[in-house]
Chain A
Amino acid sequence: MSVTEMFSYIQGFLSADQDVREDIRKVVQTLEQTAREILTVLQSVHQPSGFKEIPSKCTKARELFCTVRTQIADLKTKFPVEQYYRFHEHWRFVLQRLAFLAAFVVYLETETLVTREEVAQILGIEVVREKGFHLDVEDYLAGVLIMASELSRLAVNSVTAGDYNRPLRISNFINELDSGFRLLNLKNDPLRKRYDGLKYDVKKIEEVVYDLSIRGLAKEPESVGDK
């Protein structure tokens, strides 16, 4: 094979690779759009009016996740399944966002931590790489950390909206989350940096709880069953 032939072959390969990436980019754009729509729905829980409508917001969000499942099904067809990590960078950001949104919906519904399996189910993907397009554990964890920030904001806005008990429950939850994350041996990577932000969320929520308790505004965390 001559030099020219070799480069010609490589150029063909690179060109085909670019085409695949272009296809992937197009689908990822649609996913990002849907993710923004879900976020818009869920953001409204921070307002006093939205607060009372949490169940209906969750239902609406779940409907939008149907669209997400369709779009991801489309994404899966754009590349060979065993080359997930070759193209992973293209959807990493939006997948983390979607994991966050799924975790947020589940928290609003049940005040518990969504499992990786549940997120995968909501998104219509696998948990185990060998089975197909999957949710990488680091993307799941990143989504959970994004949710932690959202919850620290929710704690603040709950008080503004007149709910003095929610912040205490959020506080317990975030503290548990923090102790869970402490079990991980993280490397100096983006996940580690994101985890470093968790302590600020913890602190912010602690301050809210403190503000409430010294003013005698906070009662014991009530049972979730009462709601």
Chain B
Amino acid sequence: NIEGMNKRDGKSSIRTAPFPSILDAFLMLKHLFLIFQQELDTKHDKYERLVKISRDVTIESKRTIFLLHRMTNVPDPEDVLNDAEVKLDGVRQKIGQIAEELRGEDIFQFHRAFTPGIQEYVEAVSFLHYIRHRSLISLEEINARLVFMRTEKADAKPLGTQVLTFQVTPSDYLLGVADLTGELMRMCISSVGNGDIDTPFQLSQFLRQIHDGFSYIGNTGPYEVSKKLHTLRQSLGKVEDACYTLRVRGSEIPKHMLADVFSSRTTLIDPEEGVV
């Protein structure tokens, strides 16, 4: 609105180069800020898309974990494991979408958007891996399965296949494994309730190794690790107590009461009560 501007000034102002008038300077500034607006909007939109995908990853990963916990009460455990694998394939597809969004970007600019989902995925996939193999899945093995093929097209002509990867960072891996220990602890308690008295001892040894690993890392890791270390110690304590109780009292307690024995860390049972 040129008339408006001139009325406001009363007279035109002369500036030294580069701006011939205040109006030009103002329009230049407006133009600059419109560019900033665009840049910021684009970044925020991408961030939001990543948050949404990450939420989906979290939900499906959590559901996979619940599914795996149900395995002990089921006639055909192999079915459950296969279902879980299928679910995790779906999660991997979602992570492929994350990789797609991050193409050409500095991944750390958006890391906070998707780290919760990735940690949950690590938890789920390492849980499944432990159930199958009784070992800890490595970061390399996780990343090996996060390779995606994308067919590039332009004007409906295929340009070729591009390989897209997603790399879980060591720090996200660490946090996911920290959360895994909580699920392993639950698995221990429920396996005892089902009369499985071997799993707790295996788990105890495994968890101890993980705990020692975290102690070795100390606070050189991300600060969230230090927070999770506390929960990890509690989980390990519960599992160790379960093993102790099984060792000392296992033969005295009827199977159907075993679960009650381990439901709380401070439970003490009068030996006479336990005998049927």
Say whether B220 contacts A6, CB under 8 Å. no
The 0/1 profile, CB within 8 Å of A marked 1, for residues 11-40 of chain B is 101111001001001100110111011011
Q: Is the interface of A mostly helix, strand, loop or mixed?
A: helix
The chain B residue with its CB closest to the CB of A189 is B44
Is B121 an interface residue, CB under 8 A from the partner?
Answer: no
B40 and A137 form a contact (CB under 8 A): yes
* A187 CB contacts on chain B under 8 angstroms: 44
Q: Which of A1, A110, A137 contacts B16 (CB 8 A)?
A: A110
CB distance from B52 to the nearest CB of A (A): 15
Q: Give a binary string over B63-75; 1 marks a CB under 8 Å from any A CB, 0 the rest.
A: 0000000000000
Considering only residues 1-25 of chain A, those with a C-beta below 8 Å from chain B are 1-4, 6-11, 13-15, 18
* B220-249 to A contact mask, C-beta < 8 Å, 1/0: 110000000000000000000000000000
What is the interface size of chain B, counting residues whose CB is below 8 A from a CB of the partner? 46
Q: Chain A 108-129, CB within 8 Å of chain B: the 1/0 string?
A: 0011110110000000000001
Q: Which secondary structure dominates where chain B touches chain A? A: helix
A115 to B28, CA, bound (A): 10
B151 at interface, CB cutoff 8 A: no
**Segment of B93-101, B188-196, B209-217 engaged in the interface with chain A:** B209-217
| Distance of A201 Cα from B238 Cα, bound (Å) | 58
- Contact between chains at A180 and B30 (CB < 8 Å): yes
How far apart sit A3 and B202, CA to CA, in the bound complex (Å)? 14
Complex-state Cα separation, A111 to B170, whole angstroms: 49
C-alpha gap A8/B209 in the complex (Å)? 12
Complex partner residue of A181 from B11, B33, B174, B221, CB under 8 angstroms: B33
Given contacts A83-B108, A112-B19, A115-B32, contact A7 B37 (CB under 8 A): no
Report the interface size for chain A: residues with CB under 8 A from the other chain: 46
- Residue B41 lies at the interface, judged by CB distance under 8 Å to chain A: yes
| Minimal beta-carbon separation of A52 from chain B (angstroms) | 20
Tell whether, in the assembled complex, residue A223 and residue B170 are in contact, meaning their CB atoms are under 8 Å apart: no
Give B178 Cβ to nearest chain A Cβ, in Å: 12
- CB distance B25 to A7 under 8 Å? no
CB-nearest residue of chain B to A220: B10
Given contacts A6-B213, A172-B22, A176-B26, contact A14 B220 (CB under 8 A): yes
Question: At the interface, yes or no: B86 with Cβ under 8 Å from chain A?
Answer: no
Q: Does chain A have a CB within 8 A of B173? A: yes
| Chain A contact residues, CB within 8 Å of chain B | 1-4, 6-11, 13-15, 18, 82-86, 88, 110-113, 115-116, 129, 137-138, 141, 172, 176-177, 179-181, 183-187, 220-221, 223-225
The 9 A-B pairs at the shortest CB distance, nearest first, are namely A7-B213, A85-B108, A180-B33, A3-B209, A85-B109, A86-B108, A223-B14, A1-B138, A85-B106
What are 15 A-B contacts with C-beta separation under 8 Å?
A: A1-B136, A1-B140, A3-B206, A7-B216, A9-B170, A10-B213, A11-B217, A14-B220, A18-B220, A83-B108, A116-B32, A180-B29, A183-B37, A185-B37, A224-B14
Chain B residues proximal to chain A, CB less than 8 Å:
9-11, 13-16, 19, 22, 25-26, 29-30, 32-34, 36-37, 39-41, 44, 106-109, 111, 135-136, 138-140, 170-171, 173-174, 206, 209-210, 212-214, 216-217, 220-221
